[in-house]
């Protein structure tokens, strides 16, 4: 039997809150974070195939379609990998592996012992092996008129009796956690929403005012979140960052073309 050890999480996310879990992990870095997981003999975790940065010798990695073909197809349609990787320590010593993400930002843990979580597509890095994915339908109004997709991911426990279930997710920039009281409501720009408890009610809300629609927002709708439950936001969504870079490239390319054309006309 693996004896649990308690380790603190060094983290600037989740409002500087220190968390203790039976799984041994540390979040390393400040702005561009990775997560270091220490596996006891016989212990294992599951991870997105692209998130494993390295593992010690003695950690056996296997790839499989968790839950069978149908569940794997469902996972693929909600933005996750068709296959998941299991990393198991097959030695008699503790071994380490590091999970990383594709873009700059923080990593935050989500505990599933008492609360269920819904997360945005592409944010999942890894978790304990008793966690699976389920598609959560957002509705046509949210999917068509905000910048969210029609469905996102719900993290579920496959073994309700097992304790210390935890998932590791990533965000762009820094993460901000809000705890909503019953019937408390906040309005969120859709691209900044990363995760929320299933108890939180999500709706698309029409933006009032002509000038707000014209210059203040990037879509005609924003997302309304009503408590009770926790909400996690990101300060620098990756898609917004890439759109900014793309617009700058187009602008500079057009300016260069105009400048080059003027030089040709002078001759």
* Lowest mean per-residue pLDDT among 53-67, 88-102, 146-160: 146-160
**Band of pLDDT at residue 255, cut at 50, 70 and 90:** low
Is residue 157 very low, low, confident or very high in pLDDT (cuts 50, 70, 90)? confident
Separation of alpha carbons 122 and 130, rounded Å: 19
Least confident residue range of 15-19, 130-134, 143-147, 258-262 = 15-19
Percent of the chain at pLDDT > 90 equals: 37
Of the pLDDT bands very low, low, confident and very high (cuts 50, 70, 90), residue 220 is: low
- Identify the structural domains of the chain with CATH numbers, from first to last: 7-246 (3.60.160.10)
Encode pLDDT of 172-187 as tens digits.
Answer: 999 999 999 999 999 9
- Residue 18 confidence (pLDDT) above 60: no
Which carries the bigger pLDDT value, residue 222 or residue 253?
222
């Amino acid at each position: 039997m693996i004896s649990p050890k308690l380790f603190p999480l060094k983290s600037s996310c989740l409002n500087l809150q220190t968390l203790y879990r039976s799984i041994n992990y540390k979040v390393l870095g400040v702005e561009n974070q990775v997560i270091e997981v220490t596996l006891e003999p016989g212990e294992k975790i599951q991870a997105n195939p692209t998130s494993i940065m390295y593992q010690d010798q003695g950690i056996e990695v296997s790839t499989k379609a968790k839950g069978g073909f149908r569940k794997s197809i469902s996972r693929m349609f909600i933005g996750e990998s068709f296959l998941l990787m299991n990393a198991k320590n097959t030695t008699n010593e503790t071994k380490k592996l590091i999970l990383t993400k594709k873009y700059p930002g923080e990593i935050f843990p989500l505990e599933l012992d008492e609360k269920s979580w819904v997360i945005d597509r592409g944010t999942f890095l890894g978790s304990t092996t008793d966690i699976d994915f389920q598609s959560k339908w957002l509705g046509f109004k949210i999917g068509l008129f905000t910048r969210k997709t029609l469905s996102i991911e719900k993290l579920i426990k496959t073994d309700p009796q097992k304790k210390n279930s935890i998932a590791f997710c990533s965000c762009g920039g820094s993460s901000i956690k809000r705890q909503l009281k019953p019937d408390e409501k906040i309005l969120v720009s859709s691209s900044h929403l990363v995760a929320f408890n299933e108890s939180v009610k999500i709706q698309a809300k029409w933006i009032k005012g002509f000038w707000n629609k014209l210059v203040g927002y990037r879509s005609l709708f924003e997302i309304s979140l009503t408590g009770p439950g926790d909400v996690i936001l990101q300060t620098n969504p990756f898609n917004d960052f890439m759109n900014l870079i793309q617009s700058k490239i187009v602008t500079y390319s057009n300016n260069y073309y105009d400048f080059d054309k003027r030089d040709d006309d002078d001759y």
